[in-house]
Amino acid sequence: MSRLLPGTRALRTFEAAARHLNFTRAADELGLTPAAVSHQVKEIEDQLDLVLFTRTSRTMRLTEAGNVLHEASIDALALLNRAVSRARKMARGTALLKVTLDAQFATKWLMRRIDDFRRQRPGIELRFDISYDVRDFERDDVDIGIRFGTGKYAGLCAHRLFDNIIIPVCSPALLASGPPLNEPRDLFQHTLAHIDWSRQGVTWPNWSMWMQAAGVDDFDDSRTLVFGSSTDATQAALDGNAVALADFAMVANDLSQGRLVRPFELGIKVAPEFAYFLVYPEAVKDDARIAAFREWLLEEAAKTHGTEKV
């Protein structure tokens, strides 16, 4: 009977083709040629003696048999991925802790503090998965993560780290040589940068919102620089090209080291339902490595709370 079942590679190819209903898009995803995808699908059909797709000059559809096999292939591949993830975690032992987080949090906050954790816990080896993609703890080879979101994740423990306070920042050189910044309206004489981000009806604070909070009701935002990431907006400020709105926690070190200055104290909180959270599966909450990292990280996050100004 096992001879009648397609191999894992062929099954992945079929699943991608069935999901996209397009061999070219499936090929792009898999790093194959459309001809290779077509050939593998034809091999599966011949092996099973089934027609899995119906094709016309313009469309492709799954047959009834194709739908059945597609649903089963999704479940089978997911089961295999979870099993491989568990096997990898078992094989690497109990000393290694793999942390997934995004690049901004890693470079602007965590990495500046991580040597302290290593001094306190020399028996735990840390590895980092730096990505803006949300990892699956069952499928991916990671143990614990830091995510920006609402903290409502099924099957996961979530610990809020700190509020996000959005403040104006600029380089000392810009403050010294550019038009003076004595009151909020003086910002009209400068290039202003912020990010464009919204989710679930919540908008990340922008210059229009900051000006409104500052009592300025005639601000024209048509000349602001809009970036897709906070890192780019902050870099514009570091380079002396703009006054940027930045997350206090992510620029606190730049402020303390004098690379950035805060021309006005007014800050705006991001909607309270959104924040950075430490997350991990409920099933491993008593793991000694998880507990050690959780205790240390929450202590460090509490220190950040103590230096915010709103």
How many whole angstroms separate alpha carbon 37 and alpha carbon 47?
15
pLDDT at position 89: 64
The model carries a pTM of 0.68
**Run means of pLDDT, 10 residues per run, the chain, 310 residues:** 70 92 92 92 90 87 93 85 70 79 93 94 93 87 92 93 94 93 96 91 92 95 90 95 95 94 95 91 91 96 65
Residue 92: the pLDDT is 63
Task: Specify the pLDDT at position 97.
Answer: 93
Give the pLDDT of residue 300.
Answer: 94
Q: pLDDT at position 201, please?
A: 80
The confidence score (pLDDT) of residue 1 equals: 44
**Given this model, what pLDDT does residue 84 score?**
74
Supply the mean pLDDT for the chain: 89
Sheet order of strands, 96-101 included: 125-130, 96-101, 144-149, 275-281, 156-160
The residue to which tokens 């089963």 are assigned: 72
The pLDDT, as a whole number, for residue 3 is 55
Q: What is the pLDDT of residues 28-86, one digit of tens each?
A: 999 999 999 999 999 999 889 899 999 887 889 999 999 999 999 988 887 777 777 66
What integer pLDDT is reported at residue 94 of this predicted model? Answer: 64
